[in-house]
Amino acid sequence: MKLLSTCVLACSTLMATAAVAQTAAPPQAQRLYLRSLAATCAHCHGTEGRAVAGEALVRLAGLPKDYLLTQLMAFRTGDRKATIMHQITRGYSEEQLEAVAAYFAAQQ
């Protein structure tokens, strides 16, 4: 449990740092920020959102940004029922969800 809370603390510090870095982000820092944001989805949706076809994982890579963002917001508000995504999406700001939707839409 202590390990978990340490991780939560470290992760939120990291994310806060990344959020600050994002404000005046040069392209390289912005790219790294987006990649680390997207990496939090990799456990379930595959590296860069490329889940293997036929697996239980949902592929995100290459889906339209509007579709991804609509789904993320629907999970967040509870309009779309989910087993896990309603909890996950509430951990991100709208700006972060929009950024991650754009990131996955740009993957092939």
Residues near ligand HEC (CB under 6 A) are 40-41, 43-45, 58, 60, 68, 71-72, 82-85, 88, 100
Using the minimum distance from each CB to ligand HEC, give the nearer residue, 30 or 80: 80
Cα 91 to Cα 93: distance, rounded to the nearest angstrom = 7
Using the minimum distance from each CB to ligand HEC, give the nearer residue, 29 or 73: 73
The tally of CA atoms less than 13 A away on the side-chain side of residue 33 is: 21
State whether the Cα torsion 10-42-25-91 is positive or negative.
negative
What is the smallest separation between the CB atom of 57 and ligand HEC, expressed in angstroms?
8
What is the smallest separation between the CB atom of 96 and ligand HEC, expressed in angstroms?
8
What is the smallest separation between the CB atom of 28 and ligand HEC, expressed in angstroms?
22
Name which of 93, 67, 92 is nearest 80 in CA terms: 67
Token code pair at residue 97? 């969800």
Using the minimum distance from each CB to ligand HEC, give the nearer residue, 24 or 65: 65
